[in-house]
Structure 1
Amino acid sequence: MKTFSRDGVDLAYRDVGTGLPVIFQHGLGGDEAQVADVLPDQPATRRVTLECRGQGGSGYGPVERLSIATFAEDIEALANTLGIGPAVVGGISMGAALALRLAVHRPARVRALVLARPAWVFEAAPANMKPYAMVGDLLTRHSPGDARRLFDDSPIAAELGKLAPDNLSSLQGFFTRPDSVRFGRLLMAIAGDGPGVSEADIRAIAVPTLVIGHDHDLVHRLADAQALAGLIPSATLHTITAKSQDRVAYRREFRACLSQFLETLA
């Protein structure tokens, strides 16, 4: 991992490989390893992933600056620092929201777009992000142990356990994060945010777009993937196996459809 500084905040990033430039972002609470797990070996790419503020090896900076807009600006600044021109820009969950924002607000940056397991369409604070907001709120008001117990006893956790166990597992992992209060504020900030685009903005996206979705997930709803694929004129939707059903199949199918899409651009 390498680091660069923006506005006095040290941010970690991975810049690996040579070939087609691909800027690909992790989900909320994730890091570059989440991206490395699903990126295919072919075609050859130069893959850049910034670990967003407060996540992975990156510093937080001012809490009031934790937003999707700030994270997108950080990505743009890193791309400029590295001398990367138009690139394939994509991401998973929060990363998809960042890619969507860049496609609208920095169209010269985006040669093609990948929206994987999107958690936002265009509205801020969507209902599916409430579990993240709840975990964040608990972490700001309780010790990590007490917060975890309160979450595990909640109706939200019970519903996730029955219908989306992968979502539940991810959220439960947040209670062991260092600096739990600041991490809780990060979760609340992003869960209450949005990509800062309109339906008309999305309809105007003209670059080739791959949307990846799956069912059996209450946070990354298939309906949101379908909505984005329906709004973007050049989008293709691939529905893959959910991680909660078969993690090996999920990874294999994710890599396969992404490889196919990148091959058309290489």
Structure 2
Amino acid sequence: MNPARHSADGVSLAVYEEGEGMPFVFQHGLCGDQAQPGQVFPEDVGFRRITLECRGHGASDAGPKTAFSIATFASDVAGYLDASGIERPVVGGISMGAAIALRLAVRRPDLVRALVIARPAWICAANPENMAPNRIAGELLDRYPPDEARRQYEASPQAEELERTGPDNLASIRGFFTREPIDVTAALLRAISMDGPGVTEAEVSAVAVPTLVIGHGRDVVHPLGHAQSLASMIPGARLVEITPKADDAGAYRADFRAALAAFLREL
């Protein structure tokens, strides 16, 4: 699948589309790419998936590393929607993508017809403790060559704890140590882990569009409690708990697709 290109402040970003029907902007997580939402996007629901790969992710250029933030990434999505003339799509995302979608629902409600928040890593506050594993990986990559950074991480009590409580999180973190360019990966992990969606609880409580929140257990970086909290804040939000990815990746994807399909068909 060859991407279209969108320029945001001179930074070239990749835009992927698949399927036919109404637009659903579906954003990936930190250090992911368009394949992540693509794996859980259901077929034959009358929607087409649009994913704008964020700066420094996938086939998008990085641009200045000082610009890495959830606010910038959300602004890039808004700029693409404004430029393309796509009117009020469903907007959603996984992890970091969920924070981007939530920020858009609060800051640009004119762009959002409905909202999907999947495996949220943030509620409202910046630098949440659950993002520490990713932040520490970024700090190690910033200070040491990748092999030594990984060795130190693997020897840490945090890695031992993740092996037990969040093996899927640990698998993702291990991938960071070989993700090129290393300097971009380190900058993303540090900047985004300490960032937040830049919204307040009062603003989240005022979101007035149909909302689906997806969460699961056995996930240190994306606590089920975050999904529960956001679902309780947003009026009328539907919370669906799915099979943890760490338990059964196939069941996780099937559950995710089923939850999305039911929500999108109702729209």
Calculate the TM-score normalised by the size of structure 1: 0.98
- The Cα of 1:186 is off from its aligned counterpart by 1.2
More moved, 99-108 vs 17-26? 17-26
Work out which of the residue numbers 82, 107, 110 in structure 1 matches 2:109. Answer: 107
Runs ≥4 in structure 1, deviation > 3 angstroms?
Answer: none
Tell me whether 1:7 sits opposite 2:9 in the alignment.
yes
- The Cα of 1:185 is off from its aligned counterpart by 1.1
Instruction: Give 5+ residue unaligned stretches, structure 1.
Output: none
Q: How large is the Cα RMSD of the aligned pairs?
A: 0.8
Asked whether the 8 Å contact 1:86–1:108 carries over to 2, the reply is yes
More moved, 215-224 vs 15-24? 15-24
State the match for 1:46 in structure 2.
48
State the match for 2:175 in structure 1.
173
More moved, 171-180 vs 114-123? 171-180
Counterparts of 1:189 and 1:261, CA distance in 2: 33
Counterparts of 1:45 and 1:81, CA distance in 2: 20
- The one-letter amino acid paired with 1:178 is E
Alignment of 1:99-248 (within 5 A): 99-248=101-250
Work out which of the residue numbers 84, 87, 104 in structure 2 matches 1:85. Answer: 87
- The one-letter amino acid paired with 2:77 is I
SS at match of 1:176: coil
- The Cα of 1:44 is off from its aligned counterpart by 2.1
- The one-letter amino acid paired with 1:108 is D
Asked whether the 8 Å contact 1:140–1:182 carries over to 2, the reply is no
Counterparts of 1:14 and 1:77, CA distance in 2: 16
Counterparts of 1:197 and 1:253, CA distance in 2: 29
SS at match of 1:238: strand
Deviation per CA, 1:73-113: give whole Å up to 9, x if none. 10011112222010100000000000000000000101000
Work out which of the residue numbers 13, 26, 29 in structure 1 matches 2:28. Answer: 26
Asked whether the 8 Å contact 2:46–2:265 carries over to 1, the reply is no
Counterparts of 1:70 and 1:161, CA distance in 2: 33
SS at match of 2:257: helix
Number of residue pairs aligned between Structure 1 and Structure 2: 265
Counterparts of 2:185 and 2:5, CA distance in 1: 20
Calculate the TM-score normalised by the size of structure 2: 0.98
- The one-letter amino acid paired with 1:187 is L
- The Cα of 1:243 is off from its aligned counterpart by 0.5
Counterparts of 1:232 and 1:108, CA distance in 2: 17
- What percentage of aligned pairs have identical amino acids? 54
State the match for 1:260 in structure 2.
262
- The Cα of 1:156 is off from its aligned counterpart by 1.0
- The Cα of 1:16 is off from its aligned counterpart by 2.4
State the match for 1:249 in structure 2.
251
Alignment of 1:36-75 (within 5 A): 36-75=38-77
SS at match of 2:24: strand
Counterparts of 1:49 and 1:13, CA distance in 2: 6
- The one-letter amino acid paired with 2:229 is A
